[in-house]
Structure 1
């Protein structure tokens, strides 16, 4: 597992004895900082660095030495590493001490129980963020303040009722993260209105929710979802 040191902004790799870490959940835009960018001397001048920097600052202020960010902690040029990362991602989010969910399209100065901005945030419409909401014990939501800086807008605990209304996920699941007693159809319904950029990711983003593993074959299209269903049937007693 590759982690960013929040003090030095250097990348460290761990195989065993992984230290405590914070983790970021966010929606990708056109200017993300990738692993190859992060290793550049002038990375701080590149588009996308600000998000990484803000996340590191937040984690450091919370006394976390390390943070994991998907954009720059996975070598997406390595198919083997990408396979391992996506099959491990649910566990990585679950094992994080805290997940910082950054909603770039929400102001931190609004009343979130009434705010249409929070309820209609892009974050709640993306496929990958479903597991990033359910798996972590603690999720803290951040938006932008008037100065454009990250500012906390609530937690999964404090906003549980609103999140349940937005997502259709039962409050008990948001509280415990336990989905084992939830039917396949219900879990599928949570993802039904969510979208991914690549059609295959509609399946790959649900592997953790159903506790299954399978190889990824980008280019297989809708066959990925068929394979997901086959893997689910192998391990499920749900009729």
Structure 2
């Protein structure tokens, strides 16, 4: 792991975890002229637009009694595929282990602009919000707007993340579909990063394969199934209004008329299909249910089902319900 000396803003590498000193960490959205690792040894690096937030992060770290800081743009050698993969798989741990996290909202001049900041709409900043014990938010002029604990009501309203998760960082209290719903409206520059940015949230690890497109999200769900028995992973695609099962028969009949290949599989194609699953509740296993396992390239699961003889539609049930259903 590389860290910035907060006093000199020079990069130093620490080869083992036990050598890593206490450090602050920066959370931000990327803009133009970001400073790479290679840029940091150039004398004109301070004239790049991205240098000021690195400088402000280091100065704030010193004020908070910390001698070191970590910034993703310049502490990772992105020319090394192996290092980039290791860093992305370790990102949640980096933020969880930091003594201080500074969230720089480059488009927010004041606290009233929190709702409009793109920091809350980017994929990578989701784990950067949840993982640290505390996050301090700074405006575009590096003025303190408040801490995560102080702004918990506003952040909950913006992100729909439960206040208990925001306060404690304890992810085990949220179901898989609920966690997915937090990412449903977030964007990343590369489609694969919609999956890679969620690995830490679900406690899974997988190799990065840029170029695989939406298959990255399928692989993420497969890894989740290896470590979790939570059936809410299959509760994606719910409509905004939950109706009785009979209401869906006509919808399914219409689907049957579509070209071959229109039907989805058991796994979602993107986090966007979990938009309304924040109120999912997992129940005790239904009778005649088995947990999902992978066999070869397929998924095997046993679910209770019912068959509508009039429409020819067969329904299978998963052990979930909707909380706060009206």
**3-state SS, counterpart of residue 106 of structure 2:** strand
With structure 1 as the length reference, what TM-score do the two structures score? 0.94
Which of residues 218, 222, 230 in structure 2 aligns to 1:230?
222
Give the alignment of 1:63-78 within 5 angstroms: 63-78=65-80
Residues of 2 paired with 1:87 and 1:56: CA distance? 25
Give the alignment of 1:184-203 within 5 angstroms: 184-203=176-195
Could you tell me which runs of 5 or more consecutive residues in structure 2 were left unpaired when the two chains were aligned.
232-326
- Tell me the equivalent position of 2:23: 21
Which of residues 13, 33, 36 in structure 1 aligns to 2:35?
33
Q: Which has the larger radius of gyration?
A: 2
- Tell me the equivalent position of 2:10: 10
Residues of 2 paired with 1:236 and 1:16: CA distance? 28
- Tell me the equivalent position of 2:103: 101
Q: Per-residue deviation at 1:51?
A: 1.5
Could you tell me which runs of 5 or more consecutive residues in structure 1 were left unpaired when the two chains were aligned.
none
Give the alignment of 1:140-179 within 5 angstroms: 140-144=136-140, 149-179=141-171
Give the alignment of 1:29-68 within 5 angstroms: 29-68=31-70
- Tell me the equivalent position of 2:134: 138
Residues of 1 paired with 2:223 and 2:189: CA distance? 23
Residues of 2 paired with 1:39 and 1:234: CA distance? 43
Contact 2:108/2:117, CA 8 A, preserved across alignment: yes
**3-state SS, counterpart of residue 52 of structure 1:** helix
Residues of 1 paired with 2:176 and 2:222: CA distance? 12
Residues of 1 paired with 2:12 and 2:159: CA distance? 35
Deviation per residue, 1:24-45 (Å, 9 max, x gap): 0000012211111112122212
After the TM superposition, which of the residue ranges 47-56 and 132-141 deviates more from structure 2? 47-56
After the TM superposition, which of the residue ranges 27-36 and 210-219 deviates more from structure 2? 27-36
Residues of 1 paired with 2:90 and 2:165: CA distance? 21
* Alignment size in residue pairs: 229
Residues of 1 paired with 2:205 and 2:213: CA distance? 18
Residues of 1 paired with 2:52 and 2:174: CA distance? 39
Higher relative contact order (CA 8 A, sep 6+): 1
- Tell me the equivalent position of 2:211: 219
Which of residues 114, 124, 127 in structure 2 aligns to 1:128?
124
With structure 2 as the length reference, what TM-score do the two structures score? 0.69
Q: Per-residue deviation at 1:58?
A: 1.2
- Tell me the equivalent position of 1:85: 87
After the TM superposition, which of the residue ranges 83-92 and 33-42 deviates more from structure 2? 33-42
**3-state SS, counterpart of residue 201 of structure 2:** coil
Q: Which 4+ stretches in 1 moved above 6 angstroms?
A: none
Contact 2:34/2:48, CA 8 A, preserved across alignment: no
**3-state SS, counterpart of residue 61 of structure 2:** helix
Residues of 2 paired with 1:3 and 1:159: CA distance? 29
